[in-house]
Amino acid sequence: MTKSSGKDIWSRLWAPHRRSYILDEAGQFDENSCPFCLATQLSDEDGLIVFRGSDCYVVMNKYPYNTGHLLVCTYRHIAWYDEITDPERDEMSALTKRAVEILRQTVGARGFNIGLNQGDIAGAGVAGHIHQHVVPRWANDINFMPIIGQTKVMSELIEDTRIKISDAWAGH
């Protein structure tokens, strides 16, 4: 916590809807409570799913770092990269590549952060279900808001971004 003149200078953004994600200690969800497992049981719109493959699917990150932040998930509820099958690995790789192509086309991304956080100790919010992040980046996408205002601004509603991305995916 940063303090200046004895006062807490961090503004708080209240997000009570995130409470369901932090109630389960260290993101250790089982198949019945895992947000990634539950998303596949919903419509694509309600689950924020962009594309369904045979072994993996692509979903919008409900709490994105940037507009268009995607997650490539296995259907199986497994935690570790060394537990995925060769077909899951291959499809995860192919969907990640396609996500980059689609995000460059739909949101004009100029760079990407791509990666896996394995285990809660490494920062995985949902440690029990493997998922790869595809985070689009732009020149100057870090501005005064996160630095001075401790606030991240998203330029578009997640539902609108999902429609753009899923439409582009279907058009390929």
Count of domains observed in the chain: 1
In this structure, of 5-19, 92-106, 111-125, 151-165, the range with the lowest mean pLDDT score is 5-19
The answer to whether residue 1 is domain-embedded is no
The 10s digit of each residue's pLDDT in 145-172 is 454 445 566 677 888 889 999 999 988 6
CA angle 74, 75, 78 (to 5 degrees): 65
Point out the catalytic residue in the list 69, 131, 133, 172.
131
Q: What CATH number is associated with residue 37?
A: 3.30.428.10
The answer to whether residue 2 is domain-embedded is no
The answer to whether residue 5 is domain-embedded is no
pTM: 0.78
The answer to whether residue 8 is domain-embedded is no
Q: Is 77 a catalytic residue?
A: no
The 10s digit of each residue's pLDDT in 110-133 is 999 999 999 888 888 888 999 999
The answer to whether residue 63 is domain-embedded is yes
